[in-house]
Structure 1
């Protein structure tokens, strides 16, 4: 995603989650070579869609920045040590907080 190319992946759960149900990359039907060919051909022929996937993929890749991931891990440890009642996490608004319904 961070490489600046459109991502094409099979529709298995891990890729579906990573690519946000096709918003950050094109998905093809798993174990279906004609589906793969169709998705690739579509991207080759549709510059606008390809560019949208590239931009979305780059934005999505920022969710996996090492600094951000490290802050998210610290949040998990803080939650494990203190609990979530009345504490302000080191990285307020990060993924952990959004998952638990925070701001």
Structure 2
């Protein structure tokens, strides 16, 4: 920590050494804050259906035999002639034959 002292018009910097305990405390606070940032950001965007298709690599075709129609987050279309449903995780229309990284089997 630097402290400026003014003596006769000239600024003199005096360096005050920090103890190991103080450095460890400050380091712990900084690292703890950095670790909490992703949690805070995720909780702000944790609204259902708020993820974009690009974020979760959504595709309109199945992957490894898994498709949205077998996912616990998929909501089938309400109208009998509708081809797309909705999702609890993704926003927008979702194909029952699609797939994304949030896939969770029923």
The normalised TM-score by structure 2 is: 0.28
Structure (1 or 2) with the larger CA radius of gyration: 2
Which has the larger strand fraction? 2
The normalised TM-score by structure 1 is: 0.28
